[in-house]
Amino acid sequence: MDYRIEKDSLGEVKVPVDKLYGAQTARAVENFPIGEEKMPIEIIRAYGILKKAAVLANHELELIDIEKCEYIFEAADQLIKGELDQHFPISLWQTGSGTQTNMNVNEVLANKVSQLAGEKLGSKKPVHPNDDVNMSQSSNDTFPTAMALAAVIKLEDFLLPILADLKNELEKKSKQYKELVKVGRTHLMDATPITLGQEFETFAAQLTNIIEMINDSLKYLKKLPIGGTAVGTGLNTKSNFDKVIVQYINLETDKDFVAAKNKSAGIAAHDSFVNLSGVLKTAASFLMKLANDTRWLSSGPRCGIGEIKIPKNEPGSSIMPGKVNPTQAEALFQASAQVMANDTAVNIGGGSGNFQLNVAKPLIIYNILQSIKLLGDSIASYNKRCLSGIEADRGQIAKYLESSLMLVTALNPVIGYDKSAEIAQKAFTEKMSLKEAAVELGYLTAKEFESYVDPKKMTEPNID
């Protein structure tokens, strides 16, 4: 591999000739040979948005001339479009402030400008990576701002639409099976009736709450600490830089970010991300139940519950011919488990650092973005390849409902709990129907029993 020589404050460093990064990045590649994880590309693109907005703000505030502004603007635009992705080699496991990644971005943009201007790479002409590209900024305020940009964009443009699709499908199923009465179950034991539609409606209601929680968390994420520089005080910025740069960020993203009133809070701690991670964990908990209920209800096909039929996507066994497994549900609960684990890392990261700086920023955003991606992908796949194709097995549902002993619950207001329990015990012990047991015990006639025990009426309030 051919190299060129670049310099930073520590001296000369060899840099691959085909890369746009410089000495500071090369040192980071050498000093952090840890793991295979790289900084999420969403952070790199978010940095492009931030640097583009920063140079526009600095020009508006008369801190940088139009020529430099136009050059950096063009380079940042290429970064946003993904044209410079190959120039970001640093490990995720770097300094906790994300400084190496900010330097990486500064160098790539500066060298891209050198290319555009016909200057030599590493010449720092016509713009300097620290003096110009990083003007009015610090790694300490830019990295958490990039975290917020990446998370908000991923939530609003990726995850929330997928959750809306899932909610729509659940609501569709709830209407489709609104009148189909089936056995309810508590403690994995038979319980009073419910409709299959009500079962799906319950999931839709849970999901509605989660969507509301995510939207609520967005309010806190959108308060950006940019303009706080090193410790939140705004050293080396011009008055109103924070407000001006946020205006340009909103023009680029079409979002509604605001400049945080207290910049230190967004640099020293990341409570908004800890909060978001908790919401994502809650979503994972919901999805795990949805997945496991899907598995239970479709179990069989002859020796399980088998009240619903799931799509047959692929063979389920390398040894048992004809076996079909609930693979989409299994993928969904595994992804959910990983999201729950990620939340632990975010919680630890959120409490890490001292005084004016949290030093687990890369850890936090890596796990946040992975959780969003895992949830979105697994939900979309489950929705398309499982939920949309679920059908009720009406015969199996009717069979279970007819044999359920918990239909006796409808008799509580009529003959009391003790006599109703006696009927249920007799029916179970002597293997007879509830009606037969009630008649034999002399508590009700067959006609009276039929008038009181109506499974459909048991799915709603039934006392006048």
187 noted as active-site residue:
yes
Q: Is 18 annotated as a binding residue?
A: no
Which residue among the candidates 239, 317, 403, 451 is catalytic per the annotation? Answer: 317
Q: Does 325 show up as a binding residue in the annotation?
A: yes
Residue 126: cis peptide before it, omega within 30 degrees of 0? yes
Which phi and psi angles does 15 have, rounded to 5°?
-125, 135
**352 annotated among ligand-binding-site residues:** no
In 3D, which of 20, 151, 35, 155 has the Cα closest to residue 85? 20
To the question of whether residue 131 is assigned a binding role by annotation, the answer is yes
- 301 HSE (CA, 13 A, CB side): 13
Catalytic pick among 187, 381, 403, 420 = 187
**What residue has token string 């619950």?**
409
| 33 known member of a binding site | no
Does 95 carry a binding-site annotation?
A: no
Quickly list DSSP for 125-185: -S--IIIIITTT--HHHHHHHHHHHHHHHHIIIIIHHHHHHHHHHHHHHHHHTTT-EEEEE
Contacts of 425 (CB under 8 A, 6+ apart): none
- The amino acid present at 281, given as its one-letter code, is K
Would you say 462 is a known binding-site residue? no
Strands 258-259 and 308-309: unpaired
Beta bridge partners of 308: 392
The gap from C-alpha 152 to its chain's centroid, in whole angstroms, comes to 11
Q: Is 318 annotated as a binding residue?
A: yes
Kindly list the distances between the CA atom of residue 393 and the CA atoms of 32, 60, 185, 390, in Å, as whole numbers in the listed order: 57, 66, 17, 10
429 is in an annotated binding site: no
Establish whether 409 is an annotated binding residue: no
Is 188 exposed, middle or buried (CB count within 10 Å of its CB: 0-12, 13-18, 19+)?
exposed
- 186 marked among binding-site residues: yes
Q: Is residue 264 part of an annotated ligand binding site?
A: no
Beta pairing partners, 391: 309
Beta-carbon-side half-sphere exposure of residue 181 (alpha carbons within 13 Å): 15
Q: Dihedrals φ, ψ of 391, to 5°?
A: -130, 145
Phi and psi of 144, rounded to 5°? -65, -30
State residue 64 phi and psi, 5-degree precision: -145, 140
Flag whether 282 is marked binding: no
Q: Is 420 a catalytic residue?
A: no
Q: Is 433 annotated as a binding residue?
A: no
**Residue 195, annotated as binding a ligand:** no
Annotated binding site: 97-99, 128-131, 138-140, 186, 318, 323-325
Catalytic residues: 187, 317
Annotated binding site for substrate: 97-99, 128-131, 138-140, 186, 318, 323-325
